[in-house]
Structure 1
Amino acid sequence: MGMYLNPGNSGFLRITKKDYIDKTGLINVINGAIGTSDNLICISRPRRFGKSYAALMLCAYYDRSCDSHELFSKYDISKDPDYKTHLNHYHVISIDVSGFISEAKKKNLPLRDIPFTIDRAILSEVLVLYPDLRKSDNLNEVLLELVNNTGTQIVFIIDEWDSMIREAKEDDNAQDRYLNLLRGWFKNNNFTPKAVAAAYMTGILPIKKDGSQSAISDFREYTMLNPGPFAEYVGFTDSEVKVECQNKGQSFEKMKKWYDGYTVGSEHSVYNPYSVMQALQSGKFSSYWKKTSAAETLMTYIDMDLDGLQSDIVRLIADEKIVVNTDSFKNDVENFSCKDDVISLLVHLGYLSYEEVSASYDDEDDTVIGVAKIPNEEVRTEFDSILRKAKHHNLVKLVRKSDQLLQDSLNCNADAVAKAIQSVHDSEYAPNFYNNEQSLRYVVKMAYISCIDQYSKLEELPSGRGMADIAFIPNRLSALPAMIVELKWNKSSDGAIKQIKNKKYPKCLENYGGDIVLVGINYDEKTKVHSCNIERYSLT
């Protein structure tokens, strides 16, 4: 048993001793690819979406140096007819490329040396574990002899395969050396069909579309946009999280609000697995996303302003969905041709959820259109904190105006609120149309955008004898009052306040305990003027 060759099952065993949610069905998908032309698999997922856990699981299942029958006997994979056919049946070569990069940086070694370091590390270990093999400096020759002597092929498991591409983005020589290493394993007719039973590679970004990564062009690729049969293994599902919440006595509704929201292929309710497990163990619902290095890059992308990107970012923060065409994205973190490329990157990084809404496939046009949104409260907190750090002038002005709007609302300064909403209506962030109450709602959400870091916002909240348009509920331990905002179109702001009272909308906040600010807003289509009434309301 080695570090890179046949590492055993101890890694997966350690995972199962905690609150492990069964994802062993993924093994069955890979088993079905062994012995076919689809046996090279590349998976891209955001950070903290269980890629490394899956790698350890696959090592435990395929590694011939250990006995994992008992370990997997209680999980779904054990019910599959082919379960024992592949169990502990292969040599496994498992490497985490990011680990080699960290070691090189610690020793101040150039990235271009990493491919050679990986090659030598595996070669040295193979020769130590199998001393009868002919000594050679050629790793592939040694691996072929290992396969021939043992009658057993190799399953390659490579975690963070693209970390070398991302870290060496300005070093073409380092990238070329690394891709040649992969080419020697997976695009080599003298080696690949003879030695490779399957390969499972994971990374953050999909394979680049410009052909520069041709070393892995034979891989079947599964991404956040096109997960194929791996959709249910991207994160946790509703049913899985519900069971864990019941077992731990945690609120399923809060878990859903904080960590659900991803649509991945046919799975329409996918949770961030790392954050769910952290919340289950700590009993605290908060953002665990900020502990990832991915969060550090969000500011860079938000401060871009390609084709009105800033306006789309604001719409996303205000709970709107935006249309995106992901086709032009080259799976590159450096070169963006339009705002859709940046939005597509944010989908792959896990900052946005994506759902396909239409597609056009013909000889001349192969276009897929989808919608993107901020998936949940956890990611929203990251957008919230970065919103106030944004450097773009117009975005900074919008936040300042919104801060003042909130203060004027709490002070019952109705004229100032009406003017502020009019200002947002006239800004670049307003929709091109403005012809119904829905468009008014949109502008009001833009105007109150700075509330997001102090309030929870609920739209069309059932209460009393109807539904309140927008309710702002202050965050826990906040001294701010709650707010109910009612919207009218071609009517009156006074009528909006009367509706709030007559239909008993404040009833939805009867457990809140403090005063409530009632805000009525009307837009007159003929005069093009917003009007506003504001009152303080006590539940006692």
Structure 2
Amino acid sequence: MARTVAIGVQDFETIRVKNCFYVDKTAFIREWWKSEDEVTLLSRPRRFGKTLNMSMLNYFFSNRYPNRGDLFDGLEIWKDEEFRQIQGTYPVIFLSFAGVKHKDYENARSMLNELISGLYSQYAWLIEDERYTEFDRKFYRSVQAQMDEAVSSLSLNRLCEWLYRYYGKKCIVLLDEYDTPIQEAYVNGYWDELTSYIRALFNNTFKTNQYLERGIMTGITRVSKESIFSDLNNLNVVTTTSNEYATSFGFTEEEVFAAMEEQGIEENEKTQVKKWYDGFTFGEVRDIYNPWSVIMYLDKRKLEPYWANTSGNGLVDKLIREGNPDIKIEMETLLKGECIETEIDEQIIFERLEEEDNALWSLLLASGYLKVEEMMQEDPEGSRLYRLKIVNFETKNMFEKMVSRWFNRGKTFGRFVSAMFDGNVREMNHYMNEIALNTFSYFDAGNNPSGKKEPERFYHGFVLGLLVDQARGYMIKSNRESGLGRYDVVMEPKDVKDTAVIMEFKVFDKEESEKTLEDTARNALQQIEDKMYATDLLQRGIPSDRIYKYGFAFEGEQCLIKKA
């Protein structure tokens, strides 16, 4: 009988007691424990089972759940007698930062303090024991929402000490979603204050803590050592390119197909499920499926972008939209299903996200939007050259919707495209100036110390819009040189009966003896002729009268378009 597919349940006990659908990941317990690593930092994309696995570890090791072999009976870990003996025998501190999403430092700090204070309240009985001094009790009472940083930084360290004194065993510390408040701090502008708080807390909990047996932190990103881990040289950092725990998060193809069979889903559905949700690569293991989307599909029996629609894309949207032209050029390549080659440093340096392209690609890789197709070479200092690709159809769909939203301000973009295919230059000029006026600053809001606007941010974003909007009927080709020179675009129809379009972008330049935008637009048209951009289209059999040639001239947010 097929097990019930429960959505959003992240408590291991609930899933097991109610016999809900569950893919056995208990081998993770053995692999982690046998590693003997003191502190493990494990990064995986959002909704990849991190919280459920941490809950599983808590129920397995915590002495608050002794003799709970029933939760693990029939699972991989329970086949091992050695591990049966240690179930429920350690003091465990289990904490999650997943809900710390605030727009200012004061509220974020208060929330973190509340989480720690709530943890303390579970042990109110402990501190009254005769083994503890009045000094211990005074510190215990000082742990509250408004405690100062000196108290908060020592709070988990002290709790480990008290548990050790009571039980005679060192503590296991499980911290889920450690980087959620860090990302919020970056987005909302209180990075320095928050990282100071986190650095002190982590140092005292995971480094200078003689009562720590093991620690594990999960998150989406590996935040740079300089930011919060400067004193933690005892970390084993496991990222999406590491071979450790490669099948512990996400579903393997074998697990997905077995689940589909259990739920009575027909064999012919496997190809589409693979297209939508497969494609993640962890270490050397390929064909890892997105677990959230698979579970939603098993329940709803519909192919939808479930994972891509669960928010969390705002930072990615901002960085790509406001990024320099090279970023949009690379996105153009990715959206065509091709690979980009880039250096990756898996230590995400948030302070440099808007300054260094490589930092963005590192974030997209860690977050699960891109996958490694091939590692090209490794630098002795840590940087690696990778070939990256969009993970799967679901992720591509998310990027396409993101680009579409850039121009979804009324129906102006669609009207512009219609006018372009109709050859109506008058309407094209009207709509393009409206688009430029509404979106120029929107694309140019990134770091720009000089204060000058960079027109290419707009041009390349506009081409991405065409690529997404017309992908069904057209192959969008671009000869995308950097700098403020030419940027020609050819829209080649898949059906030779349709209209082809050639566009040339130029920026008004007085140094080229251009007195007006009219001159610039004419020069753009002349370049189309001089470079014979229509040659391939003519050879395909598209008649010359169905090849529309447009010269675009820009000066700031003003645009003039002429047709040959």
Residues 403/350 of structure 1: CA separation in 2 closer, same or farther (3 Å cut): closer
Q: What SS class does the counterpart of residue 302 from structure 2 fall into?
A: coil
Residues 268/349 of structure 1: CA separation in 2 closer, same or farther (3 Å cut): same
For 1:178 and 1:211, locate their aligned partners in 2 and report how far apart those are by CA, in whole Å.
9
1:287 to partner: Cα distance: 0.4
Tell me which residue corresponds to 2:261: 246
Residues 425/295 of structure 1: CA separation in 2 closer, same or farther (3 Å cut): closer
1:339 to partner: Cα distance: 1.8
> CA deviation digits over 1:479-510, x for unaligned, max 9?
xxxx799xxxxxxxxxxxxxxxxxxxxxxxxx
Tell me which residue corresponds to 2:74: 74
> CA deviation digits over 1:233-287, x for unaligned, max 9?
1311111111111112332211111100111102111111111101111101110
Of 281, 293, 301 in structure 2, the residue corresponding to residue 275 of structure 1 is 293
For 1:217 and 1:84, locate their aligned partners in 2 and report how far apart those are by CA, in whole Å.
32
Tell me which residue corresponds to 2:48: 49
Of 207, 221, 232 in structure 1, the residue corresponding to residue 247 of structure 2 is 232
For 1:60 and 1:328, locate their aligned partners in 2 and report how far apart those are by CA, in whole Å.
31
Task: State whether residues 115 and 181 of structure 1, in contact with CA within 8 Å, keep that contact through their aligned partners in structure 2.
Answer: no
For 2:178 and 2:469, locate their aligned partners in 1 and report how far apart those are by CA, in whole Å.
48
Aligned-pair identity in percent equals 25
Residues 341/278 of structure 1: CA separation in 2 closer, same or farther (3 Å cut): same
Equivalent runs, 1:481-520 vs 2, <5 Å: none
1:179 to partner: Cα distance: 2.3
Moved more, 53-62 or 204-213: 204-213
Of 248, 264, 284 in structure 2, the residue corresponding to residue 266 of structure 1 is 284
Q: What SS class does the counterpart of residue 74 from structure 2 fall into?
A: coil
| Residue 307 of structure 2 corresponds to residue 289 of structure 1 | yes
Task: State whether residues 326 and 344 of structure 1, in contact with CA within 8 Å, keep that contact through their aligned partners in structure 2.
Answer: yes
Of 171, 177, 193 in structure 2, the residue corresponding to residue 154 of structure 1 is 171
Task: State whether residues 404 and 469 of structure 2, in contact with CA within 8 Å, keep that contact through their aligned partners in structure 1.
Answer: no
| Residue 109 of structure 2 corresponds to residue 112 of structure 1 | yes
Q: What SS class does the counterpart of residue 220 from structure 1 fall into?
A: strand
Of 346, 359, 362 in structure 2, the residue corresponding to residue 344 of structure 1 is 362
Equivalent runs, 1:201-216 vs 2, <5 Å: 201-210=217-226, 212-216=228-232
For 1:266 and 1:401, locate their aligned partners in 2 and report how far apart those are by CA, in whole Å.
36
Structure 2: segments with no counterpart, 5+ residues = 1-8, 141-154, 407-442, 444-456, 483-488, 498-531, 544-564
Equivalent runs, 1:295-306 vs 2, <5 Å: 295-306=313-324
Moved more, 216-225 or 328-337: 328-337
For 2:124 and 2:302, locate their aligned partners in 1 and report how far apart those are by CA, in whole Å.
49
Tell me which residue corresponds to 1:123: 120
Q: What SS class does the counterpart of residue 221 from structure 2 fall into?
A: coil
Tell me which residue corresponds to 1:4: none
| Residue 250 of structure 2 corresponds to residue 185 of structure 1 | no
For 1:124 and 1:526, locate their aligned partners in 2 and report how far apart those are by CA, in whole Å.
72
| Residue 21 of structure 2 corresponds to residue 19 of structure 1 | yes
Equivalent position amino acid for 1:309 in 2:
I
TM-score (norm 1): 0.69
Task: State whether residues 44 and 224 of structure 1, in contact with CA within 8 Å, keep that contact through their aligned partners in structure 2.
Answer: yes
1:345 to partner: Cα distance: 0.9
Residues 340/381 of structure 1: CA separation in 2 closer, same or farther (3 Å cut): same
Equivalent position amino acid for 2:305 in 1:
S
> CA deviation digits over 1:295-345, x for unaligned, max 9?
233321221343611111011111001112103864427534432221111
Task: State whether residues 24 and 75 of structure 1, in contact with CA within 8 Å, keep that contact through their aligned partners in structure 2.
Answer: yes
Q: What SS class does the counterpart of residue 232 from structure 1 fall into?
A: coil
Residues 333/176 of structure 1: CA separation in 2 closer, same or farther (3 Å cut): closer
> CA deviation digits over 1:87-123, x for unaligned, max 9?
1111111111233x25x889x9532334443443333
For 2:212 and 2:469, locate their aligned partners in 1 and report how far apart those are by CA, in whole Å.
63
> CA deviation digits over 1:127-151, x for unaligned, max 9?
2356425252154445323313322
> CA deviation digits over 1:424-449, x for unaligned, max 9?
354449xxxxxxxxxxxxx99x857x
Equivalent position amino acid for 2:34 in 1:
G
> CA deviation digits over 1:349-400, x for unaligned, max 9?
11111244222455xx654211111111111111111222335432454356
For 1:142 and 1:328, locate their aligned partners in 2 and report how far apart those are by CA, in whole Å.
32
For 1:529 and 1:129, locate their aligned partners in 2 and report how far apart those are by CA, in whole Å.
80
Tell me which residue corresponds to 1:165: 182
For 1:150 and 1:177, locate their aligned partners in 2 and report how far apart those are by CA, in whole Å.
29
Structure 1: segments with no counterpart, 5+ residues = 1-8, 410-416, 430-442, 449-471, 473-482, 486-524, 536-540
Residues 186/528 of structure 1: CA separation in 2 closer, same or farther (3 Å cut): same
Equivalent runs, 1:366-377 vs 2, <5 Å: 366-377=382-393
Of 336, 340, 359 in structure 2, the residue corresponding to residue 318 of structure 1 is 336
Tell me which residue corresponds to 1:174: 194
TM-score (norm 2): 0.66
For 1:426 and 1:207, locate their aligned partners in 2 and report how far apart those are by CA, in whole Å.
36
Equivalent position amino acid for 1:126 in 2:
Y
For 1:75 and 1:401, locate their aligned partners in 2 and report how far apart those are by CA, in whole Å.
51
For 1:373 and 1:333, locate their aligned partners in 2 and report how far apart those are by CA, in whole Å.
25
1:81 to partner: Cα distance: 4.7
Tell me which residue corresponds to 1:463: none
Q: What SS class does the counterpart of residue 92 from structure 2 fall into?
A: strand
Task: State whether residues 261 and 353 of structure 1, in contact with CA within 8 Å, keep that contact through their aligned partners in structure 2.
Answer: yes
Residues 146/239 of structure 1: CA separation in 2 closer, same or farther (3 Å cut): same
For 2:402 and 2:537, locate their aligned partners in 1 and report how far apart those are by CA, in whole Å.
30
Tell me which residue corresponds to 2:32: 30
For 1:396 and 1:81, locate their aligned partners in 2 and report how far apart those are by CA, in whole Å.
59
Equivalent position amino acid for 1:124 in 2:
S
